[in-house]
Structure formats: C-alpha cells, structure tokens
Chains A and B, each alone.
Chain A
C-alpha cells in the first residue's frame, strides 16, 4: 500500500505521457525556422562512421534516423537538427579520440547530456555529430569528510542525489529536471535551480573539472580542494560555456551535509509590494535557515492546476511565495518559522498559506512550483525567458509584456515565476503552435526592457542557440570580442557546439 500511495503523487516530470506520440513532426528544422547558414564543416561519410565504430564499438553508435531523432529535438520542441550520428563514449579517452578525429576532419560536434536545456544549446543545429554523455555515468569517489564528490559527466542529477542521501549529504543544486538532466550539462550550462539562494552557484561549488579540448587534449583540473590559486582558474571557462570551449568529462563538486530538518511554507499574497515585504522579512527572520524563496503568479500556478490537475492547497491569490528552510535542529527551525509566519499573518502580509514538514507533503507543495514548465508546455508551444532582475524590477515586466501582447489573439498565457531569492525570473508565453509573429513581438521587446533596467537576459538557462542574438543586451562589444578570441584559441576550427553562445 505504501507504494501505491506514493505512486499517486509520483513526480511525472519527464514522463513521456504528455508528449504527443509523433512530437518530432511538430518541430520545424532549426535551419528553416531560424534561417541560419551552415558553417564550412565536413559532412559525415561512411568512413567517419567506421572510425567512430573503432573508437566506441558498434553498439555505442546510433545512425538509424529513428534512433537519432530524440537527440535532434529539444525538450521544448523548439529546435530540431538533422544529425545522422550519435556517439556514446564511456571514457574520457574515447571522447578525446573522437574529438581529435573530428578536429582533424573539421567535423562539427554537439555535446549532449540529458537534453533538458531550454535554450537549444544541446541539440545539433545542422548535422553535427552528437556526443552523448549518457553512458559516462560512474560515480568515482566520495569523501565523507570533505563532502567532495567526483563523478563522470553523464551522472543524472537525481542518481547523484540518491547516492549522496545514503552518505548523509546532498547536491548543492536541485532542478525540476533532476530526473533527466546530467551533471556535465548542469556544469556546462552553470545551472542554477532551487537551492542557489543558500548554497551558491556552480562556480563556487565545482572544485574540479576534467575536460577534453577540441583537438582531443585532456585538461585535468580535477582539484578536490576548496582553495586552489595556482594560475588562471581554467575550470571557470568550462562552467557555463555550454560545451563551446571544451567537453566536460569529469566533475568534482562539494556537497553540503543533508539538513536534518526541512520545512516548507506556501504563502498567498495580494500584491507585489507584499511579495517584496516577505523577501525582506524572510531574510531577516529566517536568516541562515532560508534555503529557497520562490515566487509564482496566479496565472503560473493555474497552469499546473489546469494542465496537470494538481491541487492548489490555499485560496486564490495574485501572488504565491514558496519558502523552504533547512537546518540541523527541527525545534529551532520550527520555532523560527512559526514566529515568521505568525508575524506575516498578524500584519496581514499574507492572505493565506500552508506549511509542511513531512517529506510527502513537501514534495506535493514543491511539485506546484517545479512542474510549471512541464504544464506550460502542454499548452502547445512555450516561449520561455530567464532573466536576472533587481527585486524592485522583478515582476513589472510580466504585466508590461501582457499589455504588449494583448492584440495577439493566439497568445494563451503570459506569466512569471522564478527564483525570487536570487532575482531570477522565468517569464513565459504560450500559444497552441509556434508563431513567428508572437516571437517577433516578444523579442527584442523583453531584451530591451531587461537591458534598460540593468538585468541579465540569461540568468541560468544560458544562451544556447536561441539567445545568441541577445548577448549584446547584457554584454559590451569589448567583452564579446574577448569571448570570441578565447573561442578562437581553444577551438580554432570551431567544431565544438557551433552556432551556440556567441553571436553568429
């Protein structure tokens, strides 16, 4: 019975149940939809395939169209390449041999992890050879004293989380896509997620990286030390560069001790001013135990109710805040949280709310937040943006965009949610089908808006393929020039994940 009950609440996040069976046909080819020119790369020949077979063996190369299809399309079905070949290396040496060969042949490659990216960074644009890290999934070492975990790039985030739980530790990051996304992809995109407000970004938590350069050379920076000031901090070049400077093969990451006490509160608020007030008071009153501070507007929460039939446990309010506390002493944490909540109720900062400390309930409440993206996608097509904004500007773009799109009848929803504690807004628009008109009305409007208030046009999703044109809204020409020079030094033939990150 225990199993039956928990299955009722099972997280269906990347289950295939909501995908149309022939989803690939819904996504137009990237080259047609976005009008890009193929670079001067070689095309795959039978001889290339034979060389790859020698490197990875016959069973770890996919060339059948049906097998390759899933690697060509992204989770949002917004981009679609036409690669003819997927390679699944198991070791760094195999990756090295593949890249060395591809560099000599000037064959473009596309590194891919769990294929959960939201900016089209992990899918081929044309016919790039896909190198999947899926089989590089060994946990190498865990030091329980330092809390440092070393593993291969293809370990699924949830697999690492489960492993660490047994050791009394946890991953410093948590994402909605945890069941599919891989640590190599997380590091390559500098993924943020729900715990960043407490544990900081991967630039801080990743202690070491092993990566393969475009020419096949292996760069071993697998330090397991918190401090290491020997020369340039090369590992940072691989964090967040989305596989354009090197192919991440191994990661050493520091993992905090699993908190003994976790509490969650979902609060309903009547205005954005109250949301700001909660940000202030939660930081003041919850202090060091605050581990998540997420915001959702009513429209965003309505999506999970309508499309996934999840239940919103409190009454309808214009804004919702989800707060998580983590600590080492449940009495201490509960006392703090109770005082904070009592104050918020007394001062009428919150209209309604609920609280949970049981894992089952915590999971149910978090699902409301974590499954918004999945629910949005069920509308048909999702235009999703990921901005860094100051708290005071955090939400005003949502009503502004709603107003801006009001004359487009095909727009289904415009809403905002995100990692409020980090100033990271996920802005979303949905329509039944992809519409160029909608896209061209949203962009560059939103980018200009974010640039004007000094925000970032990509907080945690990266630039990928879809947002290369937006980099200029957050970076100066000098900074972009230096990035291009670095790319030229590390990947002179430009074979690593082309058409991504840097402006075309």
Chain B
C-alpha cells in the first residue's frame, strides 16, 4: 500500500482568451477565470483511482502559489484527495517561481510525508515547461515514468505505458517513483455535490517554502512577453487564372 502525492497547479482556464499586459511584463490574470491544470486533473484522477482500487492508502494534494491556490486544492479534495498542503508563495514571488523551485518543494514534501508515488501532470498549460516531474525525480534520486498513458501496480513495481514519438513504450519502475500524466491516462471525474461539500471539511495545511528550507529567489528575469503574430488578412481573387498566377508568383506551384 502506498501513499500518493499529487501536484496541482492553478492556471488560467483553457476556455479563456489570454491577454498580454500592456507593459508586456506578463499576461493578465486579474479577474480572469482560473481552473486546475488539465494534466493535473488527470494526475489527481489516477491517484484517486489507485486509492479506490486499494493500491494507495492516502492521496495528498499539494499546490504552490498565492491564497487562491487553495481553490484548486479544494477541487482536488472534492475529486477524492484526502488532505491538502498549500505552499504559500506571495503573488510577487510566484511570477518568477520556476520548475526547479517546485521540484525542490515537492521533493521535500515527498520525503516529509513519506510518500511512495508522486504523480504530476506532464506539463502545465500556462508555461508548458514539462520539467517538474523530471526534476523532482532528479532531486529525490527516484526513478521516473513520464508521459504515462497507463499505470498498473504489480507488487512493489509500477508497469507504465509511456507515450513516446512514434509509439508506446512499456517500462517498469521500482517504488518510490515519480510519474507524469499524459492526456490519455484517464478521463478525470467531475466532483459531485456531496463530495464538494465534504471537501470543505477536509484538512488543508499551510506551509511556506522557508519552512521547507527551499530558496525560491528568482533565477530568471522576464524581459518581455509578446502576443503571437497576427495572421495577415487574405484577399479574394476574381478567377482561377489569377489564383494560379498569384500562387506561382509566391512560389507555391
């Protein structure tokens, strides 16, 4: 029986149109709807499933960020996590918080909480880093199984199917281990009303990076955040001949 730690990140909801701040220092987050990173939802679902299959004893959700991160933790609790840890990072510091900092935080919590499996989303849809799971495994010196699309527990090993370029790879990892969840691992559940109510009463512990002995001083400086280039307007040509000559002109045929 294992204890599972899942990382959940609060990101701008994917149905929201992203806007760059006028001073180009970042994207507008104020008054913008956020939700749990979709890959983290998959990670939580997998952990909760493990618990339901009696492969795990306890699911602990952790999130780093300002106080709103607690909303995301409540969602994880409503989906079935048993308790939550909020690593408080003030909004100002959060802007320069990088996967390296998160990995150190997660590694420390994994050790303190004596977890056997860490499951993270393969990447967050805001910064698309895809580094946290790998670095967390590195810091802990544990085996890693990233981009998992299927996970089976056999004795003290996990059999993991990984989505790789051009196919699937089947690997075995010994516990403790770090996993990252790919899109097809499962379909996350909706939190039901009774579980949303129950989640309000589940324990949520607050710690700071300092408590964990992790230095979160920035290692990068954001110089400029730019909008992607706008697609140029097309033009209508009167007939096929003009179309063909235009295409030839531009070297398309």
Query: Interface size bucket, A side?
Result: 20 to 34
Q: How many residues of B contact A (CB 8 A)?
A: 24
Contact bitstring B107-133, A, C-beta under 8 A = 1, else 0: 000000000000000010110100000
Across the interface, do B13 and A360 meet the contact criterion of CB distance under 8 Å?
Answer: yes
Chain A residues in 8 Å Cβ range of B15: 6, 9, 358-360, 362-363
Q: How far is the CA of A355 from the CA of B13 in the complex (A)?
A: 16
Closest partner residue, chain B, to A59 (CB atom): B238
B101: CB under 8 A from chain A? no
Across the interface, do A360 and B14 meet the contact criterion of CB distance under 8 Å?
Answer: yes
- A1, A352, A361, A362, most chain B CB atoms within 10 A: A1
Residues from 172 to 190 in B contacting A, C-beta threshold 8 Å: 183, 187, 189-190
Chain A residues in 8 Å Cβ range of B191: 354-355
Closest partner residue, chain A, to B35 (CB atom): A358
A350: CB under 8 A from chain B? yes
Q: If the complex has contacts A350-B193, A359-B15, A360-B13, are A5 and B33 also in contact, measured as CB distance less than 8 A? A: no
Q: If the complex has contacts A358-B33, A358-B35, A361-B35, are A6 and B193 also in contact, measured as CB distance less than 8 A? A: no
Chain A residues in 8 Å Cβ range of B35: 358-361
Q: How far is the CA of A20 from the CA of B34 in the complex (A)?
A: 39
- A2, A260, A350, A354, most chain B CB atoms within 10 A: A2
Across the interface, do A345 and B16 meet the contact criterion of CB distance under 8 Å?
Answer: no
Q: How far is the CA of A5 from the CA of B188 in the complex (A)?
A: 13
Residues from 358 to 400 in A contacting B, C-beta threshold 8 Å: 358-363
Describe A's contact surface by its main secondary structure. mixed
B31: CB under 8 A from chain A? yes
B197: CB under 8 A from chain A? yes
Q: How far is the CA of A66 from the CA of B114 in the complex (A)?
A: 69
Across the interface, do B194 and A359 meet the contact criterion of CB distance under 8 Å?
Answer: no
Measured between C-beta atoms, what is the minimum distance from A265 to chain B in Å? 8
B216: CB under 8 A from chain A? no
Across the interface, do A313 and B189 meet the contact criterion of CB distance under 8 Å?
Answer: yes
Tell which of A5, A352, A361, A362 touches B193, judged by Cβ atoms closer than 8 Å: A352
Across the interface, do B194 and A345 meet the contact criterion of CB distance under 8 Å?
Answer: yes
A104: CB under 8 A from chain B? no
Q: How far is the CA of A348 from the CA of B31 in the complex (A)?
A: 35
Q: How far is the CA of A361 from the CA of B190 in the complex (A)?
A: 9
Question: Nearest 10 pairs between A and B by C-beta?
Answer: A313-B190, A358-B35, A359-B15, A353-B193, A360-B15, A354-B190, A2-B125, A6-B14, A358-B13, A359-B13
Residues of A within 8 A of B (CB): 1-2, 5-6, 9, 260, 265, 267, 311, 313-314, 341-342, 345, 350, 352-363
